């Protein structure tokens, strides 16, 4: 009986988390501009789908942080599991990295393809192609904000059917994001993305607070006052740009929480027994957007 009770506890705990599907390549025949044929050269998507009885039909592509030099699991699979538990498909993007020799626009190409491919998979994954958002933390937030300001409508006559879909996300979620490549940037992220001596025009182009237009999707933005790695001004300036362009947004600046916090009050997603309030606030906003129940 004790064994059966223990097994039941384990099975119950396991059922609380969505099991991911197998990763799929963004480009089955190899990514454009690939530097080799290793795992690092092959961007992928991993889908965490909600239980059918919970599913809202919405999906969010997730760009983990890591300074464009790595990918933090708690800002990828950790978020995806949480979204799936709340009825939203979490689609984790493994994008190419500066630490592996890549520079812009490889990362943007990966993010754009991720949104297109998610829409192409709408029938198979039982999601609404018109409710696909993008989410990113830290440098992943920079990548998300880059797509939010540098999307395109797709190519209707493309031979690859995936390329016919728009890369414009329907909304954005920016978590303690790097936004600017200017004075308020995160130095490591900038170097990994643009190299040691980027042209001023490229710095301007990838300072996404300067690229907001009225076509930029609605955004949920959050940061913490005590973040000592990525300046809170990144989020404040992006929100100001959205306001100027008359784009709807939620902005939350919390006092407490270190950089890399993820869902938890513990550093780098470490369990602390308490989920940070941003997660609850995000669900309220997602309901307003028609992404959550």
pLDDT at 273: 58
Could you read off the pLDDT of 218-274 as tens digits, one per residue? 999 999 999 999 999 999 999 999 999 999 999 999 999 899 999 976 555 444 557
Residues 6+ apart with CB under 8 A from 125: 47, 49, 59, 89, 118
Contact 38, 109 (CB under 8 A): no
Torsion of CA 268, 270, 274, 275, to 10 degrees: 40
Q: Does the structure show a pLDDT above 70 at 13? A: no
- pLDDT for 190 equals 98
Give the tokens for residue 108. Answer: 């943007």
- pTM score: 0.92
User: Pairing between strand 44-48 and 24-25?
Assistant: antiparallel
Computed on alpha carbons and rounded to an integer, the radius of gyration of the chain in Å comes to: 18
State the DSSP string of 220-258.
EEEEETT-SSS-THHHHHHHHHHHHTT--EEEEEES---
Helix axis angle, 139-149 relative to 187-194, nearest 10°? Answer: 60
Break the chain into its structural domains and give their ranges.
Answer: 40-288
Strand partners, 250: 220
pLDDT at 84 over 70: yes
Q: State both tokens at 135.
A: 């989410």
Q: What is the pLDDT of residue 7?
A: 35
Where is pLDDT greater, at 38 or 5?
Answer: 38
Residue reference for tokens 């028609």: 290
Q: Rounded to whole angstroms, how far apart are CA atoms 90 and 82?
A: 8
Provide the mean pLDDT of the chain.
92
* pLDDT exceeds cutoff 90 at 1: no
Helix, strand, or coil (residue 64): coil
Of the candidates 81, 74, 101, 98, the residue with the CA atom closest to the CA atom of residue 176: 74
pLDDT beyond 50 at 8:
no
Residue 25 has pLDDT above 60, yes or no: yes
Mean pLDDT of 38-42: 97
Q: Where are the beta strands (DSSP E) in the chain?
A: 24-25, 44-48, 59-63, 89-94, 132-137, 172-175, 219-224, 249-254
At 19 the pLDDT is 84
Fold of 40-288: Rossmann fold (3.40.50)
Average pLDDT over residues 6-25: 61
């Amino acid at each position: 009986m004790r064994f059966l009770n223990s097994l039941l506890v384990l099975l119950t705990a396991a059922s609380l988390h969505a099991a991911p599907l197998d990763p799929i390549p963004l480009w089955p025949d190899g990514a454009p501009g690939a530097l080799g044929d290793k795992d690092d050269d092959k961007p992928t998507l991993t889908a965490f789908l909600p239980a059918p009885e919970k599913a809202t039909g919405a999906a969010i592509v997730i760009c983990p942080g890591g300074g464009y030099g790595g990918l933090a699991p708690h800002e990828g699979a950790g978020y995806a599991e949480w979204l799936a538990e709340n009825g939203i498909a979490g689609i984790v993007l493994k994008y190419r990295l500066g630490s592996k020799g890549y520079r812009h626009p490889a990362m943007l190409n990966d993010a754009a393809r991720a949104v297109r491919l998610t829409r192409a998979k709408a029938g198979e994954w039982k999601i609404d192609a018109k409710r696909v958002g993008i989410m990113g933390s830290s440098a992943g937030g920079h990548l998300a904000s880059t797509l939010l300001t540098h999307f395109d409508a797709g190519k209707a006559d493309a031979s690859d059917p995936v390329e016919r879909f728009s890369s414009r996300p329907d909304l954005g979620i920016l978590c303690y994001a790097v936004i600017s490549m200017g004075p308020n940037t995160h130095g490591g992220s900038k170097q990994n993305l643009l190299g040691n001596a980027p042209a001023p025009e490229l710095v301007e182009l990838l300072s996404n607070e300067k690229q907001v237009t009225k076509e930029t999707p609605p955004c949920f933005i959050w940061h913490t006052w005590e973040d000592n790695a990525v300046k809170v001004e990144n989020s404040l300036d992006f929100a100001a740009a959205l306001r100027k362009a008359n784009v709807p947004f939620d902005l939350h600046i919390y006092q407490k929480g270190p950089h890399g916090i993820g869902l938890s009050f513990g550093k780098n997603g470490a369990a602390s027994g308490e989920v940070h309030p941003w997660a609850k606030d995000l669900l309220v906003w997602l309901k307003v957007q028609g992404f959550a129940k």
